[in-house]
Structures are given as C-alpha cells and as structure tokens.
Structure 1
Amino acid sequence: MVGTEETRLIVLRGNSASGKSSVASGLREQFGRNLALVGQDNLRRVVLRERDRPGAANIGLIGATARYALDAGFHTVIEGILYADRYAVMLEDLVRDHRGTSRCYYLDVPLQETLRRHSTKPDLEYLSQVTDEHLREWYRERDLLPNGIETVIDAGSTLDDTVKHILRDTGLDAVQPLDR
C-alpha cells in the first residue's frame, strides 16, 4: 500500500501537445505547495535520457517516484503520453495500491488540434526537433487504459475548466495545501 487516505493521485495522459503539462502546472498553481509533479518527459528524457520503449527503466522510475511522493504525504500528479500498452500495468498497480483518492484522466485531442497546439509552443529549439511528422508518428487515437479507469476530457474543455474539474473531482478544491 502507498500514500495515506488523505493523499490524492492524479494521472494525466494524452497525446503530445494535448495539454497535459499545462493542466499539471495549472493544478499546482491553483492548489499550491504539497503537490508533486511527476513528469514522464523529465524522468525519461532528462534524468535517464532514454527512448520510450516497452519495458524501459523510466516506467519503474515514474512509479517509484510517485510512490515516494505519496508516502511522503504529497498529493501527486503523474503526467505524460504514457502509452497504455507500456504503462498500464504500472499505473493500474499504483492506483490499486494507493490508499487515498486516485483519478485518471485522458486528454482526448484530435490530431489536427494537436498539430495546431504544437505550432504555438514558444520553444523554437523544441519545435525544430519535434516536427509535425513526429507528432503524426506518435499519435494514438483514444489510447485509453483498460478497465475504464479514465475520465476522458475532450479538446473543447478549456485549460481553466479542466483544472477546476480535476480539483473538484479529486476533492483537492476542499483541501488546504501544506506549506513545506
């Protein structure tokens, strides 16, 4: 078992440029301290400098990092593409083992909107490295976790509405953040 009855676990999944990182940042901004962000890109690309492959080391590192944060009393957001065929077992085990409230969300954004959103990113170096062709190659339509454990949020939901929805749904809107 992991975490406490008071901790919240939030999993944000979706294709590249679907808004996962923006939602995670918005949750932290709205909630405040004591909300850990466990980003797939950071752990996989920065910490391990690893490609996203089945059985890769980042899968365990994401799970271990989230478990550590929950055990330390942090509400925890895991965000990333997190393809179902590679990450489902780790995510389902984590949700099953978590003592507190766990909610999973899939940001369902069509490919054309994904391409449009990607083109608006301010990081020119990133845009030169990640092309529309990459996005097309990586895109998986409605790559949902098995067992129906995800709430699907469509592209029509604004960033603010999505953040408010998740805060309400998880009960974080009624929890005071700890000043650590």
Structure 2
Amino acid sequence: MTHGAPGTTGTPDTRLIVLRGNSASGKSSVASGLREKFGRNLSIVAQDNLRRIVLRERDRPGAANIGLIDLTARYALDHGFHVVEGILYADRYGTMLQDLLRTHRGVTRCYYLHVPFEETALRHATKPDAQYLAHINESHLRDWYREKDLLRDGLETVIDAASSLDDTVQRILSESGLDGILPSDR
C-alpha cells in the first residue's frame, strides 16, 4: 500500500514515533507516558484498539487493520498530531511502516522495546484488566512472542527491559525533539 511520494505526510514539525515490541513489553505505557509528559496533540494510534476493538479482526497478513493504522497515522500527522504503537510484526506491518516512514516530512524515530519472554509473562500478569487476563494466558504470549522482530535496514533503536518507564519516555522525548516543542491547546 503506497500512499505517496517522500515528504507527503505530516509537516516538517510533526514527529512520527513508532513503538514496537512484543505483548507486555511496555508500548502502551510508554505511549501514555509520552502523552502525559508532552500534553495535547500527541495521538496514540494503537494497533490493539484499531484491530481488536474497531474492526474485531484477527492479526493476519494482509488484514484490513494494516491499512486502517496507516490511514489513521497519516490523518493524525497531516493534522499536526504525533505517534503510532503496537506489536506490529515486521513481516505483516513492515511494508506499511516503511512507506509511512519514507513519506513522513518531519522527524521520525522508531523504537523496539525488547523484553525477554520471562519478563513479558511477569509484566502481563500485572495488567489491570481481569477479563483480558482470564482469556490471554502464558501459552498465548508464547505463541505471539518473537525474539527481536526488527524492521529491515536497522531503522529501530532497541530499548531493553533494563530501561525504566520514565527513562524510556525521557529518552524518546529527547531523541524525537518533542521535549523542545510546545503542545497545542486543542
């Protein structure tokens, strides 16, 4: 799915921050932490929400959520918002992500949150959604887990489990330049 030539998405001032990693690696917590520290006009284009809630779709190659994530991220960037996050397996979402990265006009940073499986299982058990925990067990996590499922061409900075949530958020704010931008009051 190609949506345009280089430099056709967002503005020179928008920040596209791609957060990827396995289930329970901290992607949603980091995205929420970025929004909390930055303020308004930071969009969280959450794969889980678009795929599971909006479309109620399984995560499969060529699924409709891939295009919806792409369109939603582009719409947000074109309207001055910043961020996308999700497991976003490289083999299923890589082409869409690379096209999005290629066409974004502003600063783009990609991060892969690498958490070993044992830590993933521990983090999963602390999720506050009891209904989710009742349906998703360690066997599911093991089936979904992919060791360092990185995008091609070394596009991502790997952040390991030793980095605290606050350190990770501060690092991304600094490296993306969001720490030097004032949020709009929308």
> Normalised by the size of structure 2, how large is the TM-score?
0.96
Superposition RMSD on alpha carbons, in Å?
A: 0.4
Residues of 2 paired with 1:64 and 1:124: CA distance? 32
User: Which one of 123, 126, 130 corresponds to residue 120 of structure 1?
Assistant: 126
Aligned-partner SS, 2:44: strand
Residues of 2 paired with 1:57 and 1:124: CA distance? 28
Aligned-partner SS, 2:53: helix
> In the alignment, does 2:117 pair up with 1:73?
no
Superimposed CA distance per residue, residues 33-84 of structure 1 (whole angstroms, 9 cap, x where no aligned partner): 0101100000000000000000000000000000000001112x11110000
> In the alignment, does 2:156 pair up with 1:156?
no
Aligned-partner SS, 1:9: strand
User: Which one of 42, 49, 53 corresponds to residue 56 of structure 2?
Assistant: 49
Aligned residue type for 1:2: T
User: Which one of 87, 109, 115 corresponds to residue 115 of structure 2?
Assistant: 109
> In the alignment, does 2:139 pair up with 1:133?
yes
> In the alignment, does 2:42 pair up with 1:35?
yes
User: Which one of 76, 94, 98 corresponds to residue 92 of structure 1?
Assistant: 98
Aligned residue type for 1:170: S
Aligned-partner SS, 1:23: helix
> In the alignment, does 2:41 pair up with 1:7?
no
Poorly superposed stretches of 4+, deviation over 2 Å? none
Aligned-partner SS, 1:121: coil
The aligned length equals 179
Residues of 1 paired with 2:127 and 2:104: CA distance? 35
> Normalised by the size of structure 1, how large is the TM-score?
0.99
Unmatched 5+ stretches in structure 1:
none
Aligned residue type for 2:64: A
- Sequence identity, in percent? 72
Residues of 2 paired with 1:74 and 1:117: CA distance? 29
Aligned-partner SS, 1:11: strand
Aligned residue type for 2:40: R
Aligned residue type for 2:160: D
